[in-house]
Amino acid sequence: MQEKGYSRRDFLRFCAFAASIAGIEASGLNTVVAAFEHTPRPPVLWLHFQECTCCSESFIRSSHPVVADIVFDVLSLDYTETLQAASGHQAEKCLHDTMKTYAGKYIVLVEGSVPLANDGVYCCIGGRTAKDILLDVTQDAAAVIAWGSCASFGCVQNAKPNPTGATPVHQILNKPVINVPGCPPIADVMTGVVTHLLVYGRTPELDSRGRPKAFYARRVHDTCYRRPYYDAGMFVESWDDDKARKGYCLYKMGCRGPVTYNACAVTKWNGGVSYPIQSGHGCIGCSEDKFWDNGPFYQHLASFPGFGIESTADTIGKVVGVATAVGITAHAITTNIRKKSLIDEHREESVEGGEI
C-alpha cells in the first residue's frame, strides 16, 4: 500500500469514506482495510452504448475518492473505450481476457441505452450489436450497474418517438441491475456505489426501481435548502427577478425537485460546490424515468399531449369548466321554454299560501 506513492493515510481516509457510506462504524474499519489489502483489484468492464459519455466524464470528477486512486488502487478497469490504451482487436482482447479469467467475478458497468429497433443496427461496436455485447458480457458478471438515466431508463434517445428503440439495461437482462440514474449521476454517488459493492461484495440496499436507497430515497425537494421558501409561499416568478436574486423557491419556474429522487441537495455536485437549484435553475428531473417527455421544463406540470406548448391540464380544465357553465345556462334556458307547461302545471297544483 505505502509503495503506491499515495500514503497509507490517504488510503485510510478513502476506507473511512467507503465505510461511512456503507454505514459501518469506525471500529469495523480494520476489516475493510483487510478486505482490500488481500484481494486482487476486482476486475471491472465498462460498456459504452447509446450515450453522451457524460457518465464517464462525471465519474472522473469524483472528489472522494479521486478517480486515479480508484483506477490504480481499488479496481482494475479492464475495459472502457473512453480511457483504455488499446484500440481495435487489442481492446476486444482485454474484454475477452477478463471475461474468461475472472468468469463470475467481474463487475459490469453499463453506460448508455441499447437500441433494439431494426435488430440493433443503431449501435454496433467491432461489428457486433450493443444487445449482443451486453448479453454476452453480462452472462458471467458478478454484478451489473446501469450508469445514468440512459442505462437505467433510456434517457434522451428513449424520448418520443424513440427512433432507435433505445431500451434500458434492466429491461433486457434477466438478472438484477443496480440503477444509478441521473443525467449524469453525481460523481461521488457513482464512486460511492462502486465502493459499497466492493467493500461488501454485495449490492447496496435498493428500492423497487433498483436504485441504491442511500442516494435515491428522498426527493430533491425534501432536502432542498430553498424548501423554507416553498413552505412560506415565497416563489421566484421570473428569471432574475428580485425573488430570484434572493434565492426564493423555483417551483413556479418549473422546478421538478418535488417529483425527483436524487441526492443533489445533500451530496451536491463537483465536490460539494453547488447543484442546479443553488445556481438558480430548477431541477429538470434528470434522474427520473421519462423526464424528457415531461416538458416543457419551465412549468411544474407537462403540457397536455396533442395540445399546444403551455396548454396544461389547467388550460384544458378551464375550457371544460367554461363549456360546462355555458351548457348549464343553455340547459336552464331551454328548460324554461320546453318545460313551461310542466312548470305551469306545478304552479296550478300549488295551494294558495296561508290557506292550509
Partner 1 sequence: MAKRIVVDPVTRIEGHLRIEAVVENGRITEAYSAGTMVRGLEKILIGRDPRDAWAFTQRVCGVCTTVHALASVRTVEDALGITVPKNAELVRNIMYCTLMVQDHVIHFYHLHALDWVDVVSVLSADPVETSKIARSISKWPKTSPAYFKAVQDRIKTFVESGQLGIFANGYWGHPQYKLPPEVNLIGVAHYLEALEWQKEIVKIHAVFGGKNPHPNYLVGGVPCSFNMDEVNAINAERLNLVGRLITEAIQFVEHVYIPDLLAVAGFYKDWASIGGGVSNYLSYGDLPTRSYNDIDSFKFPRGAILNRNLNEVHEVNARDTEEIKEYIAHSWYRYTGGDGTGLHPWNGETQLNYTGPTPPYDYLNVDEKYSFLKTPRWKGHAMEVGPLARLLVAYAQGHEEVKEVVGEALARLDVGPEALFSTLGRTAARGLEARLAVHWLKGFYDELVGNIKAGETRTFTPDKWDPDTWPQTAEGVGMTEAPRGALAHWIKIKDKKIDNYQLVVPTTWNGSPKDPKGQRSAYEEALIGTPVADQNIPLEIIRTIHSFDPCLACAVH
Partner 2 sequence: MADVQTAPSYKRVYVWELPVRFYHWVNALCVFILIITGFLIGNPVSISYSTEAYQQYWFGTVRFLHFVTAFIFFFNFMFRIYWGFVGNRYARWTNFIPHKAAQFKEMWEVLKVDVLQTSLKGEIHVGHNMLAGFIYFISFLVFLFQAITGFALYSSMSSAWLPQQFTWVVALMGGEFAVRQWHHTFMWFFIVFVLIHVYLVAYHDYIEGRGTTSSMVGGWKFVKESRLKGEA
Residues of this chain that interact with ligand SF4 (CB under 6 A) are: 51-52, 54-55, 111-112, 148-150, 155-156, 183-184, 220-221, 224, 226-227, 230, 249-251, 255, 257-258, 277, 282-283
Looking at residues 206 to 265 of the shown chain, list those that interact with ligand F3S (rule: CB under 6 A).
Answer: 220, 260, 262, 264
Binds 354: which of partner 2, partner 1, ligand HEM, none (CB < 5-8 Å by kind): none
Distance, CA of 196 to CA of 184 (rounded, Å): 19
CA 162 centroid distance within chain: 18
Residue indicated by cell numbers 418535488: 258
Binding at 331: pick from ligand HEM, ligand F3S, partner 2, none (beta carbon under 5-8 Å per type) = partner 2
How far apart, in whole angstroms, are the C-alpha atoms of residue 48 and residue 137?
12
Q: Which is nearer to ligand SF4, 11 or 248 (CB)?
A: 248
Grid coordinates representing 303?
403540457
Residues with Cβ < 8 Å from 114, sequence gap 6 or more? 49, 50, 120, 123, 130, 131, 134, 166, 167, 168, 169, 172
Q: Which is nearer to partner 2, 46 or 153 (CB)?
A: 153
Q: Which is nearer to partner 1, 138 or 164 (CB)?
A: 164
DSSP secondary structure letters along 152-172: HH-GGGGSTT-TT-EE-GGGT
d(CA 251, CA 257): 8
Indicate which of ligand F3S, partner 1, ligand HEM, none lies near residue 260 (CB less than 5 to 8 Å, by partner kind). Answer: ligand F3S
Binding mask 275-314 for ligand HEM (x = CB under 6 A): --------------------------x-------------
Minimum CB separation of residue 244 from partner 2 in Å reads 11
CA distances from 285 to 40, 53, 108, 262, 264 (A): 39, 19, 26, 9, 11
Within 143-202, the residues that bind partner 1 by CB under 8 A are 155-157, 159-164, 166, 183-184, 186-187
Residue with smaller CB distance to ligand HEM, 48 or 219: 219
The length of the chain in residues reads 356
The CA distances from residue 348 to 334, 345, 356, in Å, are 21, 5, 16
Q: Which residues contact 235 (CB under 8 A, 6 or more apart)?
A: 229, 243, 248, 249, 250, 251, 252
* 176 upstream amide cis, omega within 30 of 0: no
Q: Which does 301 bind (CB under 5 to 8 A by kind): ligand SF4, ligand HEM, ligand F3S, none?
A: ligand HEM
Please give the Cα distance from 84 to 46 (Å, whole number). 10
User: Please, which residue, 88 or 233, has the CB nearer to partner 2?
Assistant: 233
Q: Name the site residues for ligand HEM (rule: CB under 6 A).
A: 258, 301
Q: Name the site residues for partner 2 (rule: CB under 8 A).
A: 208-209, 218-219, 222, 228-237, 242-243, 248, 251-252, 256, 258-261, 285, 288-291, 294, 300-302, 313-314, 316-317, 320-321, 324-325, 328, 331-332, 334-335, 338-339, 341-343, 346, 348-352, 355-356
